[in-house]
Chain A
Amino acid sequence: MATLSQPSKLPGSGVTSLSERPKGESLWANSLRRLVRNRLAVIGFVIIILMILVAIFADQIAPRGFAEANFKSGDSAPTWVTRVFPSMIPEGQEGGYVIIDESYTLGADALGRDLLSRIIYGSRVSLTVAFIGPLFAIAIGLFVGMAAGYFGGVVDNVLMRAVDIMYAFPTLLFIILLMTFFRFSTVAPEPGSLAATLGQFDKNSGGMLFIFVGIGLTSWMQMARLVRGQVLAAREQEYILASRSIGSKTPRILWGHILPNILGPLIVAETLTIPTYISYEAFLSFIGLGVQQPTPSWGSMISEGANAIRSYPNQALFPALALFLVMFAFNFLGDGLRDALDPRMRGKD
C-alpha cells in the first residue's frame, strides 16, 4: 500500500489529489509498471504490435496479391502441411489427391489464391474492426449514458428503458437484419442520395463501414449503462459543484470535467470488448454479410475452408489460428489493463 497511503482530503471523493502521491511514481507509471510485470499482457501487447506491423506492411510482406488466382494450383499445399495434417495425402501416394506446390507456404485455396497472403491481408480487416469498431459503440453509448446519468429523471428513465428494450433483441438476429438492410438498401439507389453516398463509402472500405455501424448499433448498451453509472457517481463530486458555481455550462461540465474523470473504466471496458467485435466481424463475414469479396477476411476464409474441412483442413485451420492469436492477444492485454488500472490492486505487486 505504498501509493494510496491515506484517504483524499476531499470527503466522499475517491480521487487522490496530486500532492498525496509519493514522489517518483505517478498513478500512470504505477499502472504501467504493473502492466509490464504481467507477462501474459506483455505477450498480448507484442502480438498486437506485430499484427499491426503485418497489416501496415502487408503489401511488402505478402508473397502474392490477395486476389491473385491460379486455377492450376487450386487446393495445392506444400509438403510440410501434408505432414502436419496426415489426412491430406499427397498426389502420387495411394489415394493421394493433394497437389504439392512448395511455392505456397501455407497452401492455396480452391481458386489457387495463396493462403498466407490472404491471412496477411485479412489482418487489416480484423485490426481495423478492433480499433475503429468500438468507436461507434462508444459514441452512441457515451451520448446516451451521459445524458441519462447527468440529466436524470425522465431523460434517464426513457433512455434506460430504451436500453432494456435493446437488450431484448437477440443480438445476432438483429445484426443480420441490420446488415441486410444496409447492404440491400444501398445497392442501386438514386445517385446523389444519402444512401448512394454511404453505399459508395462502404464499397470503398471493402464493406467495412456498415460492419462498424452494425456492430455499434447492437453493442452500445453496455457502454451506456457503464457511463451512466460513472456519471451518476461523478456528478455528486465537489469539483462539479465548484465548476458550476463559477458558471460553467452543461457541455463544459460534461466534456471538460466528467468525461476525463470517468475515462479509465471506459477504456478498460472497451479493451475487454474488442475480442467480441473481432468475432462479430468474423461471424458476419462467415455468413456472407461482412466484408465484400475479394477483400479477404479471416471469417470468410474460415467459411470457405469449412466446406472442405475433410479434404483440405489447412484452408480453415490456418485463418482460424490467426483469428485465435488476435483474440487471445486482446483478451490478455485487456485483462492486464483491467488489473493494472484497478485502484484496489494498486501497490499489490
Chain B
Amino acid sequence: MVRFIVRRFLWMFLVLFVVSAITFVLLRAVPGGPFNSERGVPAPVQRSLTAKFGLDQPLINQYLKYVGDILVPRITDSTFKRTLTEDYLINIDLPFLGEEAAFRWMNFGPSLRVRSRTVNQLFLENLPVSIQLGSAALIVSLAIGVPLGIVAALKRNTRYDYASMGVAIIGVSIPIIIMAPLLQYFFGVQWGTLPVSGWGTLAHMIMPAFALGFAQSAIMARLTRASLLQVLGEDYIRTARAKGLSEQKVVLVHALKNALIPVVTIIGPLFAALVTGTFVTETFFSVPGMGRYFVTSVTNRDFTVVMGTILLYAVFLVLANLFVDVVYAWLDPRIRLS
C-alpha cells in the first residue's frame, strides 16, 4: 500500500511536469504578450516590463525558472521579506532553526496583469470561494442523487423507477447554461425568493450550488441504482434474507453498505470536477471564484495565472484519482493494490 502510494506520487510529478510543459508551449505559441495590448504604454516601458519579468529570456530558461520557483523549497531567516517575486504558498515556521526561520515552498510568481498581486494571493482569495461552491454542489448532488437511485433500485421496473430515472435523464440534459437562467428567472425574478446573483450569504449559495450539482445528481442516481441492483443479486443478500432479517435491515445494513462503495469512491473525482468546472456558474451568478479569472487571464496572456490555475487543478484531479484507488482498496478488501 505504502509502496503503491509512493509510486503514484512519483507518477503524479511526471504527469504535472508534462501538463505544465504542454500548457507552457501552448500558451507561448499564442501571439501577443501580457504587455502588448495596453494602450498608452510607450514601447520602452513595455520593453522594460518584459525584461523585468524575464519574458525576454529564451523560452526554455523561462520554463526552467518557473518550474524551479515552484519546486525548489527554501529555508529562510528573518531577512526574508515577502515580495511580488517571492511569495510562497506553503510557509511552515521552523522555530528550532532560529527565530523567524521558515520552510517555504511553491512560489507561483507574480501575476503579470494584476500587477500588485501574486498568483498565490489570487489563489488564496478566489480558491476558497470555488471550493465552497464545489462542496455545496457536491452536497446537492449526493442529497438528490443517492435517494433517487436507492428508490429506483428497490422499486425496480415500477413507475417510481421510471420517474427517478426520468429525472436523472432530464438532469443530464440540462447543462448549467440552461439551468442557471431558469433558476435565476423563477427563483430570482418571478418569485423573488433568492438573490439573482452575488455571493456572501447562504441564500446566495443555493442557486449556483443547485445549478452546478443537479446534473451530477443524475449521474449519482444512475450509479447508485446500478450498484444497488448488482449488490441485491449477491448471495450474501439471499443469505441475509434466508436467516429471516427484515427487508429494511437487509437493505440498510447489508446491501447499502456495499452498494455505496462506488458512490463513495466517485466523490473524489466528482468534487474535483465540480471545483474545476465552476466557470459558467460563476459567470451567471457573479461568484468571485477562480473561474472568472481564468478566462480573462487567458485573453490577457497573464501567463503565470493561467499556468498556476491549470497546475493547481491538475493536482486536484490527480489527487482525486489517487483518493479513489486508495479508498477503494480500503473499503473493499478484495482489491489489492500492487
B173, A286: Cβ atoms closer than 8 Å: no
Nearest CB in chain A: distance from B252 CB, A: 29
Name the one of B18, B178, B317 contacting A324, with C-beta atoms under 8 angstroms: B178
A335, B19: Cβ atoms closer than 8 Å: no
Check if A170 is an interface residue, CB within 8 A of chain B: yes
Check if B310 is an interface residue, CB within 8 A of chain A: yes
A172, B277: Cβ atoms closer than 8 Å: yes
Which candidate, B50-58, B68-76, B179-187, B238-246, is the interface stretch facing chain A? B179-187
Bound-state Cα–Cα, A180 to B27, Å: 9
Number of A-B contacts (CB under 8 A): 130
Check if B141 is an interface residue, CB within 8 A of chain A: no
B181, A305: Cβ atoms closer than 8 Å: yes
A299, B177: Cβ atoms closer than 8 Å: yes
A317, B314: Cβ atoms closer than 8 Å: no
A317, B182: Cβ atoms closer than 8 Å: yes
Check if B98 is an interface residue, CB within 8 A of chain A: no
Give A44-59 interface residues, CB cut-off 8 Å to B. none
Check if B318 is an interface residue, CB within 8 A of chain A: yes
Check if A32 is an interface residue, CB within 8 A of chain B: no
- Annotate B149-184 by CB proximity to A: 1 below 8 A, 0 otherwise: 000000000000000000001101111011011101
A286, B280: Cβ atoms closer than 8 Å: yes
Bound-state Cα–Cα, A331 to B309, Å: 32
- Annotate A302-328 by CB proximity to B: 1 below 8 A, 0 otherwise: 110110011001001100110110011
B317, A170: Cβ atoms closer than 8 Å: yes
Assuming A165-B19, A174-B310, is B184 touching A324 (CB within 8 A)?
no
Classify chain A: how many residues form its interface, as a range.
35 or more
Nearest CB in chain B: distance from A93 CB, A: 17
Nearest CB in chain B: distance from A279 CB, A: 4
Assuming A279-B177, A313-B181, is B31 touching A173 (CB within 8 A)?
no
Name the one of B19, B32, B190, B321 contacting A169, with C-beta atoms under 8 angstroms: B19
Bound-state Cα–Cα, A286 to B189, Å: 22
A320, B181: Cβ atoms closer than 8 Å: yes
Check if A108 is an interface residue, CB within 8 A of chain B: no
Which candidate, B86-94, B293-301, B325-333, is the interface stretch facing chain A? B293-301
Chain B residue nearest to A186 in the complex (CB): B31
Chain B residue nearest to A320 in the complex (CB): B178
Assuming A185-B29, A283-B177, A302-B177, is B314 touching A169 (CB within 8 A)?
yes
B172, A331: Cβ atoms closer than 8 Å: yes
Check if A282 is an interface residue, CB within 8 A of chain B: yes
A176, B294: Cβ atoms closer than 8 Å: yes
- Annotate A174-185 by CB proximity to B: 1 below 8 A, 0 otherwise: 101110110011
Nearest CB in chain A: distance from B288 CB, A: 17
Name the one of B22, B189, B276, B298 contacting A170, with C-beta atoms under 8 angstroms: B276
Please name all residues of chain A whose beta carbon is closer than 8 Å to the beta carbon of B23 when the two chains form the complex. Answer: 177
Chain A residue nearest to B298 in the complex (CB): A180
B181, A323: Cβ atoms closer than 8 Å: no
Check if A168 is an interface residue, CB within 8 A of chain B: yes
- Annotate B1-45 by CB proximity to A: 1 below 8 A, 0 otherwise: 000000000000001101100110011011110000000000000
Bound-state Cα–Cα, A313 to B182, Å: 9
Assuming A176-B294, A323-B177, is B185 touching A181 (CB within 8 A)?
no
Q: Quick one: which of A169, A174, A283 has the most chain B CB within 10 A? A: A169
Give A264-313 interface residues, CB cut-off 8 Å to B. 275, 279, 282-283, 286-287, 299, 302-303, 305-306, 309-310, 313
B314, A327: Cβ atoms closer than 8 Å: no
Assuming A168-B314, A331-B172, is B276 touching A85 (CB within 8 A)?
no
Q: Quick one: which of A180, A275, A283 has the most chain B CB within 10 A? A: A180
Chain A residue nearest to B197 in the complex (CB): A309
Name the one of B181, B277, B310 contacting A316, with C-beta atoms under 8 angstroms: B181
B189, A287: Cβ atoms closer than 8 Å: no
Chain B residue nearest to A310 in the complex (CB): B189
Name the one of A168, A302, A324 contacting B173, with C-beta atoms under 8 angstroms: A324
A176, B295: Cβ atoms closer than 8 Å: yes
Chain B residue nearest to A280 in the complex (CB): B175
B181, A275: Cβ atoms closer than 8 Å: no
Nearest CB in chain B: distance from A173 CB, A: 5
Please name all residues of chain B whose beta carbon is closer than 8 Å to the beta carbon of A287 when the two chains form the complex. Answer: 279-280, 283, 295
Q: List 9 A-B contacts (CB under 8 A).
A: A168-B16, A171-B277, A173-B276, A177-B298, A177-B306, A309-B184, A309-B196, A320-B177, A320-B182
A-B complex: 6 closest residue pairs judged by Cβ atoms: A170-B313, A279-B175, A328-B173, A316-B181, A327-B173, A320-B178
